[in-house]
């Protein structure tokens, strides 16, 4: 799960950072303790140097024996290496102090410092490193304990924060799945994306809109198929039943069979129209107007390169019934393209009988044909399909009453 991965990554990052900080702290502490020990050695060497005295016989130590502090930590050697003063120490320490002539040396847990004395002599002072080592050990253990406590605290806090941060995501996912199955009209509606959660909500709203659109598209298609196939099938059944009721002359039987062929043709046209509707993509990245509209009778009063939010096939499906009706009811058809603000209006006109007042909306109802329907055959689905496709993409198709056919298709710009 993502929360486990986030927790693991955060814990590992914090552990690495604490390890680096601890190593840096330990290195700085060690350096500081070493410098402190060296400072103590130098102070003792300076104190010992104040006890030395030059005499005709050579280098001597004033007021022997030395002060107890000096006596316990300092050696004085003349130029020949003879010990003028030395504390009571172990054999190894005495041997190391005797051999050391300059610089710093370690023997066991004692650190020695040798500095030159007058007339070729040497002063060697020592300090026990046990307190420093103990301080270093305690500091390291304390730092590790603090690191462990901080790591545990960060892990617990990170787990709670990640859980709280991802909880809305889990809730939103569950709600989106439930709404997609039982309530397609519900949306999060959190407004524009301001952060990751509002962006996720906006994205889920878009997906729910697409799911709702596709489901409504399928339901409308199923309903249209059931509704529009009923009439042609009823006509076919009626013709067949009438033909079977009694013996009929060959001419009447031929006429009945011709009617069956006509009704079968209408039925095929209905099926083809509905299948074209089902295959038309509702969502699209848009296209150029010039790529979707062709023909000699097309007038562009705007740039043909303008992009609309519909695909070229969709625009052709919208215009197909309008241009077909223009040629079916009249002798000419013309398409005019005009830009109006954020929309493009495509006007299809012809020289046919036109549309009567009061029929502007009725002709867009499925299976309903206008007063001029006797002039041409049809199923009454073309205009309904064109309007439905346009509205599904944010546009519309309207009719203008008057002499001559006049239809307007409005599509939003991309």
Q: Average pLDDT of 142-166?
A: 91
Considering the domain architecture, whether residues 274 and 299 belong to the same structural domain is answered as no
Considering the domain architecture, whether residues 191 and 92 belong to the same structural domain is answered as no
**What is the reported pLDDT for 393?**
78
Residue 374 has pLDDT above 70, yes or no: no
Identify each DSSP E strand in 232-376 by its residue range: 287-288, 298-300, 307-308, 333-340, 343-350
Q: Is the peptide bond before 173 cis (omega within 30 degrees of 0)?
A: no
Residue 67 has pLDDT above 60, yes or no: no
Considering the domain architecture, whether residues 50 and 17 belong to the same structural domain is answered as yes
Report how far apart, in Å, the C-alpha atoms of 171 and of each of 19, 179, 250, 318, 334 are. 38, 12, 73, 41, 54
For residue range 280-337, list pLDDT tens digits in order: 555 556 788 888 887 657 888 888 888 888 878 788 888 888 888 888 888 888 899 9
**What is the reported pLDDT for 380?**
62
**What is the reported pLDDT for 66?**
42
Q: Are 317 and 276 in contact (CB under 8 A)?
A: yes
173 part of a folded domain:
no
179 part of a folded domain:
no
**What is the reported pLDDT for 285?**
65
128: which strand partners? Answer: 110
- Tell me, yes or no, if the pTM score tops 0.75: no
**What is the reported pLDDT for 242?**
75
- The structure tokens 């659109």 sit at 213
Considering the domain architecture, whether residues 25 and 126 belong to the same structural domain is answered as yes
| Sign, Cα dihedral of 166, 172, 178, 181 | negative
Overall number of domains in the chain: 3
**Residue 186: which residues within 8 A CB-CB, separation 6 or more?**
175, 179, 208
Considering the domain architecture, whether residues 411 and 291 belong to the same structural domain is answered as yes
Considering the domain architecture, whether residues 267 and 352 belong to the same structural domain is answered as no
For residue range 69-90, list pLDDT tens digits in order: 444 678 888 888 888 888 877 8
For residue range 244-279, list pLDDT tens digits in order: 776 767 777 777 777 777 777 767 766 765 666 555
Q: What is the CATH number of the domain that holds 10?
A: 3.30.450
Considering the domain architecture, whether residues 250 and 343 belong to the same structural domain is answered as no
Please tell me the distance from the alpha carbon of residue 40 to that of residue 129, in angstroms, as a whole number: 11
Considering the domain architecture, whether residues 243 and 294 belong to the same structural domain is answered as no
59 part of a folded domain:
yes
**What is the reported pLDDT for 154?**
92
Q: Tokens standing for 346?
A: 């495509």
142 part of a folded domain:
no
Q: DSSP character for 75?
A: E
**What is the reported pLDDT for 366?**
67
* C-alpha closest to that of 387 among 356, 357, 362, 413: 362
Please tell me the distance from the alpha carbon of residue 330 to that of residue 71, in angstroms, as a whole number: 129
Among candidate residues 234, 260, 279, the one where a domain is terminated: 279
Q: Tokens standing for 219?
A: 């339901």
Considering the domain architecture, whether residues 299 and 413 belong to the same structural domain is answered as yes
Considering the domain architecture, whether residues 259 and 295 belong to the same structural domain is answered as no
Report how far apart, in Å, the C-alpha atoms of 312 and of each of 209, 288, 339, 381 are. 22, 8, 17, 21
Please tell me the distance from the alpha carbon of residue 40 to that of residue 58, in angstroms, as a whole number: 28
Among candidate residues 233, 259, 279, the one where a domain is terminated: 279
Q: Tokens standing for 247?
A: 């013996």
Q: What is the CATH number of the domain that holds 375?
A: 3.30.565.10
**What is the reported pLDDT for 187?**
82
> What is the C-alpha end-to-end distance of the chain, expressed in Å?
39
Q: Tokens standing for 42?
A: 């130098």
Q: Tokens standing for 348?
A: 């299809």
Range of the domain at 202: 184-279
């Amino acid at each position: 799960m993502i929360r486990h991965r986030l927790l693991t990554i955060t814990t590992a990052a914090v552990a690495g950072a604490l390890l680096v900080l601890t190593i840096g702290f330990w290195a700085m502490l060690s350096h500081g303790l070493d410098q402190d020990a060296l400072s103590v050695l130098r102070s003792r060497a300076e104190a010992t140097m104040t006890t030395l005295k030059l005499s005709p016989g050579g280098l001597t130590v004033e007021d022997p024996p030395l002060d107890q502090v000096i006596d316990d930590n300092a050696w004085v050697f003349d130029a020949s290496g003879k010990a003028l003063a030395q504390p009571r120490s172990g054999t190894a320490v005495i041997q190391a102090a005797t051999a050391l002539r300059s610089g710093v040396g370690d023997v066991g847990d004692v650190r020695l410092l040798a500095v030159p004395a007058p007339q070729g002599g040497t002063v060697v002072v020592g300090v026990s490193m046990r307190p420093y080592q103990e301080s270093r050990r305690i500091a390291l253990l304390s730092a590790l304990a603090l690191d462990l406590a901080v790591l545990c605290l960060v892990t617990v806090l990170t787990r709670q924060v990640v859980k709280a941060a991802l909880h809305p995501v889990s809730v939103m996912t569950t709600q989106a799945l439930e709404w997609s199955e039982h309530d397609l009209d519900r949306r999060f509606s959190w407004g524009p994306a301001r952060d990751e959660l509002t962006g996720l909500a906006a994205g889920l709203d878009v997906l729910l809109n697409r799911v709702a659109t596709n489901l409504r598209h399928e339901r409308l298609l199923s309903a249209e198929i059931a509704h529009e196939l009923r009439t042609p099938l009823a006509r076919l059944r009626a013709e067949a039943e009438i033909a079977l009721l009694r013996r009929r002359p060959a001419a009447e039987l031929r006429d009945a069979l011709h009617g069956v062929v006509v009704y079968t043709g209408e039925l095929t046209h209905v099926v083809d129209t509905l299948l074209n509707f089902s295959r038309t993509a509702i969502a699209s990245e848009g296209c150029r107007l010039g790529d979707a509209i062709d023909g000699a009778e097309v007038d562009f009063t705007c740039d043909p390169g303008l992009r609309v939010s519909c695909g070229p096939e969709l625009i052709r499906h919208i215009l197909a019934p309008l241009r077909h009706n223009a040629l079916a009811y009249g002798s000419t058809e013309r398409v005019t393209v005009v830009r109006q603000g954020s929309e493009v209006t495509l006007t299809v006109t012809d020289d046919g009988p036109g549309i009567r007042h009061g029929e502007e909306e009725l002709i867009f109802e499925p299976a309903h044909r206008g007063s001029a329907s006797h002039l041409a055959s049809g199923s009454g689905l073309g205009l309904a399909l064109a309007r439905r496709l346009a509205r599904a993409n944010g546009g519309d198709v309207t009719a203008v009453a008057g002499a001559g056919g006049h239809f307007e298709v409005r599509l939003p710009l991309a």
